[in-house]
Amino acid sequence: MNAVQCKMARAALGWGTRDLARNADVSPDTVARLERGEQLKSSTIEAIRAAFEAVGIEFIPENGGGPGVRLARPLNGK
């Protein structure tokens, strides 16, 4: 997960930095640091990623069009 993916995921959910911080159990400043592109501990990035994935965000790897995010489809395919 990179800074742009973090911002995109927050936008998809309508979350502010404080919402993400609360759900990931990190400080809002940590979220801001990630989104500025600063280096964070891998465990911190994983906590943020896990918070997003818990509410249905999927991270799309670099595939020629750049990395991205999307909302997961419901299990029933609707």
Domains (ranges, CATH) in the chain?
3-71 (1.10.260.40)
Helix or strand holding residue 60 (H, E)? strand 57-60
**pLDDT confidence bin for 75, thresholds 50/70/90:** very low
Instruction: Characterize 17-31 residue by residue with b for buried, 16 or more Cβ atoms within 10 angstroms of its Cβ, and e for exposed.
Output: beebbebbebeeebb
- SS3 for 63? coil
68/66 Cα distance (integer angstroms): 7
Which of 55, 59, 70 lies closest to 15, judged by CA? 55
The predicted structure's pLDDT at residue 64: 65
Give per-residue pLDDT as tens, 17-37. 999 999 999 999 999 999 999
